[in-house]
Amino acid sequence: MSAFTTTIQVRFGHVDPAGIAYYPRIFDYVHEVYEELWEHHVGVRYYKLLLEDRIGFPLVNSEVDFRAPLRFGDRPEVSVTCTHLGRSSIRLRYVFRLDGVVCVDARMTTVCTDLRAMKSIELPAAFRASFEAIQEAA
């Protein structure tokens, strides 16, 4: 199995008074990585999908395990794999590691949607192949 991997940076404005990344910021990080995945792995800029192609992938389910804090200045590596690929749904797993330690393990399910009709549609074959390339073994 292959994974898409990138690095994020925890910035000063991302931490709470306790000095750790405020938990809603983790969802922002996940979405930033999601957009990078589209651009660098799938080969389509996410804004183009939304604004020009009118295809979206709204979040329909999320599960996040917070295992270790992320602090100002940390640069965790985030690996993304696909754990489920349905007709229209994609479940992605985002694992944030800092010095080999898993800090965050997030699982997000999105559904391919025609934004004009606001109805789910089948995931286009070209996109499916990209997600199959990072799919975890069953």
pLDDT, tens only, 54-90: 999 999 999 999 999 999 999 999 999 999 999 999 9
36/56 Cα distance (integer angstroms): 15
Q: What percent of the chain has pLDDT over 70?
A: 99
The structure tokens 């109805």 sit at: 119
The whole-chain average pLDDT of the chain stands at 96
* Residue (of 72, 76, 71) closest to 8 by Cα position: 76
At 60 the three-state DSSP class reads strand
The structure tokens 């930033």 sit at: 32
CA 126 to chain centre: 19
pTM of the model: 0.95
Q: How many CB atoms lie within 10 A of CB 7?
A: 10
Q: How far is CA 106 from CA 63, 72, 87, 113, in A?
A: 6, 20, 22, 22
Question: What pLDDT, on a 0 to 100 scale, did the predictor assign at position 42?
Answer: 96
The verdict on domain 4-132 having CATH code 3.10.129.10 is yes
Question: What pLDDT, on a 0 to 100 scale, did the predictor assign at position 1?
Answer: 65
The answer to whether the CB of 11 falls within 8 A of the CB of 72 is yes
Going by pLDDT thresholds of 50, 70 and 90, the confidence category of residue 137 is confident
